[in-house]
Amino acid sequence: MFKSIVKGSEASFPWKSFDSILETPSGDNPRQNAWLTLQLRVKLNFCDSKTPAPGRTVQIAGKWHARDLDGYLFPLLDWTPDLTTKFMRGFVKRAEDTWNFQFLLVTPSDYSELDYDSGWRAAMPLKVRPNVLCLLRVAVIGPGGLLDNTPGAGPLRGGPPHRTINVFNLDKSTGAVNLAPGVSPTAATPVRRTFSTFNDGSFRSDDSDYDDSDLFRPRVIDEANKVHHNTIGHEIGHALGQAHIRGLDGDATCALDSATGNDGRCYGADMEGWDIMGGGDRLYLVNAVSWKERIALHTSVPAVKWSASGVTATPPRSLPAAIANTSFAPTTW
């Protein structure tokens, strides 16, 4: 039998930062596929003058600032309870809208452990071989604990967080920022940086540090093709083990653990760069890799044998049970 639940601790890097559960249908509906749900638990620390983040917030001349990935200091505002709740709910929605129910894995023709019997029609009961729907559930842990402790937050919502993220509420009236003391300027990061519009490209976030504009002020990447930046979707992709798009496409120098994995070229160019793990908001079939790698642990069938489809309505295959249970049944179907 397949393994129903796999914990992150049972997986190897980079696929160990989430849990998962594989479920099969009851048999009432012969057109129902199986479900592979990746469960991510995220703790959000809302950092401000009352809740500093060591190493990422600093007080200068009585004013609190947040330091971004490049070393720039941004004026920081205090969070309000209403804004933290709005961010948490928006974070879950953006993450799940991006990744949930986007792919389907086609069950190998010689793998029968997911098969189920369906008595849909008494005159012709069926043996059904379901495909596997790729689902994501994100449970957020905020200042008051779990934001949502209902099944809507996922079947494995309880437990310690897989990832802890600092979130900064920045002063959007800021038009210029300076590098933090001790940070050396480069050609790409001058001492002072200016911008006319404050959006999710102003503060450079990373997988452990966001600002509120990552949710509320996404920027346009390609107006003609309606490609937008999606910081939260991108960082959730990292939480699911995915490298930048060039790494996913096979460039080892852009792998998740590579010293050069954050180089600009790793984000891809042209249509490749539109991918969620580039600089855009598109999903390509290569992004199904998190589910392919995890289902291999559930079923002991190598990931390469599970082909991904973006057609989530692909129905299961079935055979009349009278044939499937005899020596006349095909060995692969």
pLDDT tens-place string over residues 292-331: 999 999 999 999 999 999 999 999 999 888 787 777 778 7
The tally of domains found in the chain comes to 1
Structure tokens at 134: 């790729």
Host H or E run for residue 134? strand 132-142
Domain of residue 110 covers 7-306
The structure's pTM equals: 0.94
Query: Is residue 105 assigned to a domain?
Result: yes
Please check whether residue 323 lies inside any domain of the structure. Answer: no
Quick one: 234 exposed, middle or buried, by C-beta within 10 A (0-12, 13-18, 19+)?
Answer: buried
End-to-end CA distance of the chain: 19
Residue 212 lies in a domain: yes
Quick one: pLDDT band at residue 122, thresholds 50, 70, 90?
low
Residue 95 CB burial class (10 angstroms; 0-12, 13-18, ≥19): buried
Residue 331 forms part of a structural domain = no
Model confidence at 80, in pLDDT bands (50, 70, 90)? very high
The Cα 73–Cα 174 span in angstroms is 11
Q: Could you tell me what percent of the chain has a pLDDT over 70?
A: 99
Confidence of residue 120 (pLDDT cuts 50, 70, 90): low
C-alpha angle 244-213-257 in degrees, rounded to nearest 5: 20
Whether 241 is in a domain gets the answer yes
Cis peptide before 14 (omega within 30 of 0): yes
The answer to whether residue 227 sits within a structural domain is yes
**Mean pLDDT of the region 206-212:** 94
Residue 285, domain member (yes or no): yes
Average pLDDT, stretch 131-138?
A: 98
Q: Does the residue 179 lie in any domain?
A: yes
Q: For 263, which DSSP code? A: S
Mean pLDDT computed over 209-233: 95
| pLDDT at residue number 324 | 76
